[in-house]
C-alpha cells in the first residue's frame, strides 16, 4: 500500500463520518468511535484497503498510519479549560465522616481571589486527580496537575455525583435558630434542632473572616443537606460540624489543618488538555467540514 499523507487520511475519514448517511456517499463505510480509536481495528483495515493501491499488502505501513490517525483524532477530541491563569495560596485539610466511612480531603484557596474556581482533592491511593469547579461558568473537570491533562464532567453528571454541592447559607444577625451552649478559651459550641436531628457547630474563638469563608465554601461543595449557619460563622472559622439523628452521628466534618503555601499553586488553563465528552468524532467531522466549506467560499 502506498504511503498516504496524514492530512489526506484525516480528510477522507472526516468526510466519510460527515456524509456516511448521505445517498451520494452510501458506499462509504461508517465506523463507531471505539472502532476508529482501536489499535488494530478491522473496520479501519477495511477502510484503508479500500483506499489503497490494489495488491499492496504492507501491513506495517498501514498500521503506522492507523496509529497516527488515532493520535490525531484523540487530539481533536480534546480542548483546553480556558485562557485564564489561576493562583491558590492556601491549603486546608479536612476529615469527613459520612455513612460510616472516613474521607480525607484537601482544599486550595486564595483569599485575594474570591472568584477563583474551586479546587479540591479526595485523598486516596488510587488517584491523584483533583476536582475543578468554576462557579461562574459551571464548568467541572477532573485534573492531573502533573500531566496537565483531565476530563470534563458534564453538568448533569456533576450534579448527580454531588460535586456541585449544596445550597447552605449564613443566616442574618437577627436569627435566633442557634444557641451558644459551650465556650472554651479556643472554641465556641453552637447548637440547633429540627424535627428529626440536632446540629452541633464548633467555631474557633479567634476571628478570621478569610478562613471562615474558605471553610464555608468547601462545606458547600460537599454532598450534604443544605445547612443554615449562624451569622457568627461568617467571621469565626468552623472547626467542626456534626449532625445527630436517632441512630447517632449522621455525619461529621472537621478541619484538621491549614497553611499558607511556600510556593503558590499556579494553573494556566490554556495548558490543560481536557477530554471533552461532547466532542465526539461526528462533532469533530462536522466542524472540519464547516471550516472547509467556509474556506472554500472565501476563496
For the stretch 150-181, pLDDT in tens is 888 877 778 777 777 889 999 999 888 999 99
Residue 96 lies in a domain: yes
Which residue do the cell numbers 484538621 mark?
A: 256
The predicted model gives 5-31 an average pLDDT of 43
89 & 143 share domain:
yes
Residue 259 lies in a domain: yes
Residue 135's pLDDT band, with cuts at 50, 70 and 90, is confident
Are residues 175 and 291 both part of a single domain? Answer: no
Mean pLDDT confidence for 70-82 = 62
Say whether both 164 and 217 belong to one domain: yes
Give residue 172's domain range. 85-275
In a domain, 241, yes or no: yes
Q: Are residues 46 and 59 in the same domain?
A: yes
Examine residue 180 and state whether it is found in any structural domain, yes or no: yes
CATH number for the domain spanning 254: value is 2.50.20
- The dihedral over CA atoms of 118, 96, 166, 160, expressed in degrees to the nearest 10, equals 90
Give strand pairing partners of 268: 85
In a domain, 60, yes or no: yes
What is the pLDDT averaged over residues 39-54? 43
The answer to whether residues 179 and 219 belong to one domain is yes
| 293 and 256 in a common domain | no
The model's pLDDT over 193-204, given as tens digits with 9 standing for 90+, comes to 988 899 999 999
Residue 194 shares a structural domain with residue 284: no
pTM higher than the cut 0.85:
no
In this structure, are 254 and 166 located in the same domain?
A: yes
Q: Domain check: are 43 and 114 in the same one?
A: no
**144 domain-assigned:** yes
Are 163 and 56 part of one and the same domain?
Answer: no
- Whether 1 maps to a domain, the answer reads no
Question: Which position has the higher pLDDT, 157 or 253?
Answer: 253
Same domain for 32 and 117?
A: no
Q: Are residues 67 and 207 in the same domain?
A: no
Domain count, the chain: 2
Asked if residue 206 is part of any domain, the answer here is: yes
Quick one: pLDDT at residue 24? Answer: 37
Which pLDDT belongs to residue 155? 76
Between 215 and 24, name the one with better pLDDT: 215
Amino acid at each position: 500500500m502506498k504511503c498516504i499523507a496524514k492530512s489526506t487520511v484525516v480528510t477522507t475519514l472526516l468526510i466519510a463520518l460527515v456524509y456516511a448517511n448521505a445517498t451520494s456517499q452510501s458506499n462509504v463505510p461508517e465506523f463507531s468511535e471505539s472502532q476508529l480509536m482501536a489499535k488494530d481495528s478491522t473496520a479501519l483495515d477495511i477502510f484503508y484497503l479500500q483506499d489503497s493501491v490494489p495488491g499492496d499488502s504492507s501491513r506495517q505501513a498501514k498500521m503506522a498510519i492507523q496509529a497516527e490517525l488515532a493520535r490525531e483524532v484523540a487530539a481533536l477530541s480534546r480542548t483546553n479549560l480556558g485562557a485564564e491563569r489561576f493562583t491558590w495560596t492556601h491549603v486546608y485539610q479536612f476529615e469527613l465522616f459520612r455513612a460510616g466511612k472516613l474521607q480525607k480531603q484537601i482544599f486550595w484557596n486564595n483569599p485575594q481571589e474570591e472568584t477563583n474556581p474551586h479546587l479540591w482533592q479526595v485523598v486516596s491511593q488510587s488517584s491523584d486527580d483533583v476536582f475543578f469547579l468554576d462557579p461562574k461558568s459551571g464548568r467541572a473537570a477532573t485534573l492531573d496537575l502533573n500531566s496537565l491533562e483531565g476530563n470534563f464532567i458534564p453538568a448533569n453528571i456533576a450534579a448527580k455525583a454531588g460535586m456541585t454541592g449544596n445550597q447552605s447559607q449564613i443566616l442574618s444577625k437577627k436569627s435566633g435558630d442557634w444557641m451558644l451552649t459551650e465556650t472554651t478559651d479556643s472554641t465556641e459550641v453552637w447548637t440547633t434542632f429540627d424535627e428529626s436531628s440536632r446540629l452541633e457547630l464548633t467555631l474557633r474563638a479567634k476571628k478570621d473572616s478569610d478562613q471562615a469563608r474558605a471553610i464555608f465554601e468547601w462545606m458547600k461543595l460537599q454532598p450534604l443537606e443544605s445547612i443554615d449557619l449562624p451569622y457568627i460563622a461568617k467571621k469565626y472559622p468552623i472547626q467542626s460540624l456534626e449532625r445527630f439523628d436517632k441512630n447517632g452521628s449522621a455525619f461529621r466534618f472537621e478541619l484538621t489543618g491549614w497553611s499558607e503555601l511556600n510556593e503558590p499553586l499556579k494553573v494556566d488553563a490554556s495548558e490543560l488538555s481536557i477530554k471533552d465528552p461532547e466532542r465526539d468524532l461526528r462533532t469533530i467531522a462536522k466542524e472540519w467540514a464547516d471550516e472547509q466549506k467556509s474556506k472554500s467560499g472565501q476563496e
